[in-house]
Chains A and B, each alone.
Chain A
């Protein structure tokens, strides 16, 4: 059974604007979430050739709407899904959650499709580059956003967000989340059958929901959650990647430290049934690493990233070279963001602290990254299709002295081999295949 065929929740598939539509005025007129005045202004700016201005406005409105919708699920829940311990109920979603995180999350929750996700991530890079202050027009008058880039951005924003009558999380997702705390499933429950045949990120999301419910649930809610966790997690444990296993162990340690005995009992039962106590960290030091690594990624994906990356990257390097295992995946993504940069270059000042962290990583830790993380690392996979990022990736990986037979997944092995052989075309195509898989296409 193909996981992409049966999914527990899916994004709306009605077409608001076809992929072939390239008339800005026609596309803008479908942006139901915008006032007609705003639609006209967008069209006029396109006519006047003000592509950066039009795209920045469209992008800003799209992200604001998307984040508003995500916030309606509860900001703490969003923090749990993103595995960001620094996000609490007082966090302001517009600043706490980066655009890329919001896009990725929107995919996980069935707000947008996998193709829209890829296109939005691409548009984000384009828009942030041209809106950044280091893109000084007086230095290079010819470096402007092209009409095609602007139309592409407008079209995907309308298709995924602005053109939807209501931007909302998939109903199936909401119902599943609610049932996890109000019903006890069995292996025959339709939701469970669908979940087990869905792409990996559904399981990852389901685990995040369960862990979030463990933290907030009480009484009967908590009992349903504990029973459902004891059904779902052991059944899927063998397929779970290490970051998700660490997430469960981390939640146990966190709940223990918070003194929530009933939640601890529920999580304990899960860990006993899978023999997962090796994934319970000895302390909560990893939270700090995750927090700083997240700020590196956010700086990298935000405006003026070349200026904003050095400070959090230096902070990450100063936390010490022994990165706790639960935080390793996130920290490696953060360091690779800085090292690979984007199609416009890298942040020079952030390279030295990034090199310090990279220098401290053993081969085992790189194998961990390849085997457990890279296949689902949307941030890095999206970079591996860009020529300039590819070059930097190759120069890093080729010096590591890793062996392909230590890598278990065949696609990741193919990606590794194409890297070692400097085969950029193959690297692009494997990265695309992996990205499709990570997005559940």
Chain B
């Protein structure tokens, strides 16, 4: 009788996590095993049909770890044996509590083999350093963050700066880089002339796009200076946003006053961006940090000849390839994010 052939990512995942932990100065089989468990479990973690995207920090001491984070608060939820079998319990207890502002921590045991786990948060203004960047502030304090970065991608990063990106895919992957997002953000801020806060706004906007794209199912973002949809034949099916969602204005108000009202205004803009990302179609930005339209659908106006290069991928990828033709004419740049996390940037002079 033929034996079924089983292929698992376990060996590769565990091996790479072992390497990462070694680079971070930790030799601990149980830490390696528990991180490997989470690498698989976070890919599609659901409770009652709802998917969660928790970020989990493994550290030696949550109190020491949180010293880096002003205004941090932590709540211990429970304790469990230090072994991968405790992973499901940790997720069951903490994942529903986690979200964009609350994260899960797991504290490695000192002497007994019991780990402590719970949730934490810190004082987060819209411009604050996000968790995945903040874990590297103190390289002498061991900590590893594991989180889902896109539909099929898990990020593992250590405090010394080691980064492991696990892509659960069978196609040949291109390198996923946050550079693409930064480049696109730069185009969206090109017409922001206020030198004093240009850099701060760009930093904020890059991080916002990165965070929003992480939790979206795939999208296309396009940017054009003084864009007028009526002039673009290929983009006649669109919902114009009037007045525009002006991130820069909201950001300036926040920077000027830092009032509760200005924070809420900025958060309202962020919420709407996340809403647009849940819709099909392209989102249009101008070069002043504004969203001018969403649900924009690209319809080619001419039929490609037989000698045109063949495009591999779905409708979104085909639309991206089509939009490239508008760069330099109507558009300045386009950012493509596939459902499985592939990110591509194409811009004028890029």
Binding site for B on A (CB under 8 A): 89, 252-253, 256-261, 264-265, 268, 272, 277, 280-284, 287
Contacts and interface: CB of A to CB of B under 8 A. Distances in A.
A257 B70 contact: yes
Contact of A282 (B68, B123, B137): B123
B46 interface: no
A265 B67 CA distance: 13
B70 to A, nearest CB: 4
10 A-B pairs closest in CB distance: A253-B70, A282-B71, A277-B67, A259-B127, A257-B125, A257-B128, A259-B129, A280-B70, A283-B71, A268-B137
Nearest to A271: B67
Contacts of A272: 138, 140
Interface in B289-344: none
Interface of B: 67-71, 123, 125, 127-129, 133-134, 137-138, 140, 196, 200, 203-204, 207, 258
29 contacts: A253-B70, A253-B71, A253-B123, A256-B70, A256-B128, A256-B129, A256-B134, A257-B70, A257-B123, A257-B125, A257-B127, A257-B128, A258-B127, A259-B128, A259-B203, A260-B203, A261-B129, A261-B133, A261-B137, A264-B137, A272-B140, A277-B67, A281-B70, A281-B71, A282-B71, A282-B123, A283-B70, A283-B71, A283-B123
B71 to A, nearest CB: 4
Nearest to A253: B70
B173 to A, nearest CB: 27
A281 B69 CA distance: 10
A174 B145 CA distance: 44
Q: Which of A257, A264, A272, A282 has the most CB of B within 10 A?
A: A257
Nearest to B128: A257
Contacts of B134: 256, 261
Tell which of A252, A265, A268 has the most Cβ of chain B within 10 Å. A268
Given A253-B70, A281-B71, A284-B123, 19 more contacts: A253-B71, A253-B123, A256-B70, A256-B129, A257-B127, A257-B128, A259-B204, A261-B133, A261-B137, A264-B129, A265-B137, A268-B68, A268-B137, A268-B138, A272-B138, A280-B67, A280-B70, A282-B70, A282-B123
Contacts of B137: 261, 264-265, 268
Contacts of A89: 196
The SS class assigned to the B binding surface is loop
B140 A284 contact: no
B256 to A, nearest CB: 9
B75 to A, nearest CB: 16
Nearest to B200: A258
A347 to B, nearest CB: 28
Contacts of A280: 67, 70
Contacts of B67: 277, 280
Contacts of B138: 268, 272
A253 B123 CA distance: 9
Contacts of A252: 70
Contacts of B204: 259
A285 to B, nearest CB: 10
Nearest to B130: A259
Given A268-B137, A272-B140, A282-B123, A259 B207 contact: yes
Nearest to A268: B137
Contacts of B71: 253, 281-283
A381 to B, nearest CB: 33
A258 B134 CA distance: 13
